[in-house]
Amino acid sequence: MDFEDFVQDLSSLDIISQNDKKMSVKLKGVTLQYANALRRVCLNGVPVFAIDTVDIIHNSSVLADEGIAHRLGLIPITTDLSRFNEPSKCDCHSETGCSNCKVMLILDAGESNETRTIYSSDLASEDESIKPISGKIPIVQLAPGQSIKMECYARLGRGTDHAKWNSSNIATLTDTDKEGESALTVESTGALKPEQIILSGIDEVNTKLIDFKEMINQIKD
């Protein structure tokens, strides 16, 4: 089956198992090269949000600015692909971005008389739909009298640029007991639902194929 025919008729996509984090589907009649391309795109080719820029306003913790910024960047962020653009595709054409391609989250933990751990739940987002997937991810521990304040900017990106933008923890392709059939398993990082990753992955592969065909036709002409 040609991949374009597969895209037009997703009835060949049978669900084996599914939950909030993980999904397995059967790919019938899809050649191995197309199935593996889909697997690779599901792993790191579907755009998701991640904190990309951190402005340090104040940091008196023992952890260096770069260390905190790195930890913030690795926190999975819930993603809404219907409302936001990738920076390279946004109409603003700005290096700083706009409300259509970035979201600001503020981390503000003032001084206290007790030692405490600052968690991802302490990140306040300007958009309720774009926030850490869990509030229980530790960021830094503050001793009495220590405080931090940072402005964080999350943007859409792809895992091919940095692992923090991986849409999946794992994406595997295995043979089934039937010829011409394989099983694709995707485990989400939590930024997107697994079914969103697979469907977006199918769109991404199809778009790449169309672009490649157009490029070949231009060379022939």
Residue 57 sits in the same domain as residue 149: yes
Question: Is 90 exceeded by the pLDDT of residue 163?
Answer: yes
Residue 52 sits in the same domain as residue 93: yes
Residue 111 sits in the same domain as residue 152: yes
Residue 42 sits in the same domain as residue 90: no
213 in any annotated domain: no
CATH classification at residue 85: 2.170.120.12
> According to the model, what pLDDT value does residue 14 have?
86
CATH classification at residue 42: 3.30.1360.10
Strand ranges across the sheet with 102-109? 48-59, 148-157, 102-109, 123-125
Residue 93 sits in the same domain as residue 127: yes
Residue 31 sits in the same domain as residue 62: no
**pTM > 0.85:** yes
Cα 194 to Cα 188: distance, rounded to the nearest angstrom: 5
Q: What are phi and psi of 76, to 5 degrees?
A: -60, 135
Cα 36 to Cα 82: distance, rounded to the nearest angstrom: 26
**Residue-range definition of the domain harbouring residue 56:** 48-158
Residue 103 sits in the same domain as residue 182: no
How many structural domains does the chain have?
Answer: 2
> According to the model, what pLDDT value does residue 221 have?
66
Q: Exposed, middle or buried by CB within 10 Å (0-12, 13-18, 19+), for 13?
A: middle
182 in any annotated domain: yes
Residue 95 sits in the same domain as residue 105: yes
Give the residue among 191, 199, 129 at the shortest CA–CA distance from 166: 191
Residue 70 sits in the same domain as residue 154: yes
**pLDDT per position as a tens digit, 122-157:** 999 999 999 999 999 999 999 999 999 999 999 999
115 in any annotated domain: yes
> According to the model, what pLDDT value does residue 8 have?
52
214 confidence band (pLDDT: 50, 70, 90): confident
Residue 103 sits in the same domain as residue 128: yes
188 in any annotated domain: yes
> 6 and 30 in contact (C-beta within 8 Å)?
yes
Residue 71 sits in the same domain as residue 134: yes
108 in any annotated domain: yes
Question: Is 80 exceeded by the pLDDT of residue 9?
Answer: no
Residues 16, 20, 22, 27, CA torsion sign: positive
216 in any annotated domain: no
Residue 58 sits in the same domain as residue 124: yes
Give CA angle at 108 (62, 166), nearest 5°: 80
